[in-house]
Amino acid sequence: MDAGRPTYVLANESLKDEGFRVGDSFVLDGTAEMLTIAGFVRDQTYNHIASVFIPIETWRKLAFAAPGSDKGVRDPVNAIMLQGKNIDPNAIGELLPGTETVTRAHAVQGISGYKEETGTIFMMLGFLFVISAFIVGVFFYVLTMQKSNQFGIMKAIGAKNGFLGKAVISQVFVLSLASIAVGILLTCGTAAVLPKGMPFRLETSWVIVYSLVLLAIALLSSLVSVRTVVKIDPLKALGRVE
Amino acid sequence: MTQGLEMRSVSKFYDAGSERITALDRVSIRVEPGEFVAVVGPSGSGKTTFLSIAGALLKPSEGEVLLNGKNIAELPDKQLADIRLREVGFIMQASNLVPYLNVLDQLLVVKRMAGKVTPADKAFAAELLAELGLAERMKRCPEELSGGEKQRVAIARALMNDPGVILADEPTASLDTKRAHEVVSLIAKAVKTRRKAAVMVTHDERLLSYCDKVYRMEDGRLSLSSPEPVPVS
């Protein structure tokens, strides 16, 4: 992309899937300018639609094609991005009257539909965690209940609550760890076969964080089972209580 | 030296509505180390309550329970678990083994509860099992064992922590006559050679000949039914 070739642009690589190659030309809807793909960029979309980066002069020509649409502003720009450390948006905002200064995160939140979409996804995530807490808790509770007679025997021959509680929690830990590992493998497998156009990316850091959260949830919900074990009466082991 | 089991006028009451049910009525008994005592009586007479109190599973309403010279009647639950672990060996009705542990582990889990399993514990467990004729069965799970073998494992487990007192709750309930004799004679032998104070609660009158004394339980009262020791047949 350079000033000498004002109609050469960079496009998001998802256009490749639609058959575009470097050197191909296209015309944007509602414009007359022919644009040529000079290269591809990765993960640059707006509302899940491929973005195209073009020289600012060309952009002005396209965006303000209708006479007077630039409201008389000379060389209009939409936004100026600053990259670096220790940038204080408030200080800059005070120095530039008539403009709006926001952080990048804030600007992203302002994209129409972004908040709603991510909100929905995070709500689903949140509910999944709540639901998994219940399912895992009930699963281990049922396992514990089925073994309540054996816990009674163990108590009768002298097992302390601490011993049995530790046994339950360590078993839940091992089972959860193994099933989370299987879950991660399945997720990676699914991610591998998802269509390319799907806006889905598996970040290692998120996988780790969610795995830990899930493990913590499993251990917390196993406390319900531990409580049941504590309540089991060792007298049960003698068969009947007179 | 262990001092066996002693109960001094132990009573147990249950409140059922406005009524007060007396499950045990001033029961006194003394079982010396090396003595094998049977308690017989109809169901509902308080045998299980008696055994539960003797085995630190239940606290008496009144009276003293001395296990190895220590009064356990007033101890909190947590210490009672410890007493059960160290001072009492329970032989329960058949099939009260942990299903997914093999025979050797059934014994070692007792040691695990008390702390660590040492090589000496393993050797002791193997010795006990060999003594009870289970040397070949050490790696089997309970479901692969016959009823008599299961009860022999239960005997070995009861002896594992070298307790002062052995308590058996209907140990022959699901066994045929031959197996029942086998199991009770093994208990009697272990009690004699290892100097344990043993109490067996049973319905089974056929087996009383193995016991030194027979007590009869009726409506919560315990009385000696054969003052003279019965010779072991």
- For residues A108-121, average pLDDT: 86
The structure's pTM equals: 0.72
Query: For residue A8, is pLDDT > 90?
Result: no
> Domains in chain B, start-ordered, CATH in brackets?
5-226 (3.40.50.300)
Question: Is A159 a residue whose pLDDT tops 50?
Answer: yes
Question: Are A149 and A200 part of one and the same domain?
Answer: yes
Residues A59 and A122 in one domain: no
A119 and A190 in one domain?
Answer: yes
Q: Looking at residue B199, what is its pLDDT?
A: 93
Return the pLDDT at B225. 81
Chain A interface, best mutation among B98, B110, B162, B201, by max A CB count within 10 A = B98
Q: Indicate whether A181 belongs to any domain.
A: yes
Among A78, A102, A132, the domain-final residue is A78
Sort strands B36-40 and B88-91 into parallel, antiparallel or unpaired: unpaired
Report yes or no on A203 lying in a domain: yes
- pLDDT tens sequence across A184-232: 999 989 888 888 767 777 788 988 998 999 899 889 888 888 998 888 8
Distance CA B111, CA B224 (A): 36
**Residue A226 to residue A163: CA distance in whole angstroms:** 11
User: In this structure, are A137 and A206 located in the same domain?
Assistant: yes
**Residue A155, both tokens:** 């108590």
CA-closest candidate to residue B43, choices A235, A240, A236, A156 = A240
Residue A90: its pLDDT value, please? 82
**Residue A242 pLDDT > 50:** no
A160 touches chain B (CB under 8 A): yes
Residue A151 shares a structural domain with residue A74? no
CB of A58 within 8 Å of a chain B CB? The answer is no
Nearest residue of B to residue A240 by CA position?
B48
A238/B52 touch (CB, cutoff 8 Å), yes or no? yes
The residue count of chain A comes to: 242
- The model's confidence at residue B219, banded by pLDDT at 50, 70 and 90, is confident
Query: Of B58, B93, B157, which is closest to A157 when you measure between CB atoms?
Result: B157
Q: Does residue A63 or residue B232 have the better pLDDT?
A: A63
pLDDT at A240 over 70: no
pLDDT band, residue A236 (cuts 50/70/90): confident
Strands B70-71 and B62-67: antiparallel
Percent of chain A with pLDDT over 70: 96
Considering A52, A78, A104, which residue would you say is the last residue of a domain? A78
Q: Is residue A228 part of a domain?
A: yes
Task: Report the C-alpha gap between B23 and B14 in whole angstroms.
Answer: 7
| Opening angle at CA B123, ends B100 and B102, nearest 5 | 10
Query: Could you tell me the sign of the dihedral formed by the alpha carbons of A131, A132, A135, A140, in that order?
Result: negative
Query: Would you state the pLDDT for residue A151?
Result: 87
Supply the range of the domain harboring residue A164. Answer: 114-238
Residue A180 pLDDT level (bands cut at 50, 70, 90): very high
Residue A241's pLDDT is 38
Residue B158 has pLDDT above 70, yes or no: yes
The structural domain count of chain A equals: 2
The mean per-residue pLDDT over the stretch A38-59 comes to 86
Read off the DSSP letter of residue A69. T
A-B interface: how many C-beta pairs under 8 angstroms? 73
Examine the pLDDT at A182 and tell me if it is beyond 90: yes
* B54: nearest Cα among A151, A229, A238, A159: A238
A119 and A47 part of one domain: no
**pLDDT score for B198:** 92
Is residue A49 located within the same domain as residue A159?
Answer: no
Of A154, A161, A242, the CB nearest to B46: A242
- A102 lies in a domain? no
In a domain, A151, yes or no: yes
Mean pLDDT of B72-93: 86
User: Taking 50 as the threshold, does the pLDDT of residue A124 lie above it?
Assistant: yes
Share of chain A above pLDDT 90, in %: 14
Per-residue model confidence as pLDDT tens digits over A26-43: 888 878 788 888 888 888
pLDDT of A155 over the 90 cut = no
B55–A contact, CB cutoff 8 A: yes
pLDDT greater than 80 at residue B122? yes
- Hey, is A241 helix, strand or coil? coil
The pLDDT confidence band at residue B2, using thresholds 50, 70 and 90, is low
Dihedral over Cα of A29, A32, A37, A38: its sign: negative
* Contact across the interface for B98 and A153, Cβ inside 8 Å: yes
Tens of pLDDT along B183-217?
A: 899 899 989 988 889 999 988 888 888 899 899 98
What is the residue-averaged pLDDT of chain A? 85
pLDDT for res B131 = 85
A66 and A149 assigned to the same domain: no
**A157 in contact with chain B, both atoms CB, cutoff 8 A:** yes
Q: What is the mean pLDDT of residues A34-63?
A: 86
Beta strands in B133-187 (DSSP E): 165-169
The answer to whether residues A126 and A221 belong to one domain is yes
User: Does residue A1 lie within any of the structural domains?
Assistant: no
Neighboring chain A residues of B88 at a CB cutoff of 8 Å: 158
Of A154, A158, A238, the CB nearest to B82: A158
Claim to verify: residue A146 and residue A51 sit in the same structural domain: no
User: Is the same domain home to A118 and A198?
Assistant: yes
Q: Are residues A120 and A231 in the same domain?
A: yes
Is A135 part of a structural domain of the chain?
yes
Is the pLDDT confidence value at B64 over 50?
Answer: yes
The pLDDT assigned to A186 comes to 93
Q: Which residues pair with B201 in a beta bridge?
A: B39, B169
B180 touches chain A (CB under 8 A): no
Stretch B64-80: mean pLDDT, rounded?
86
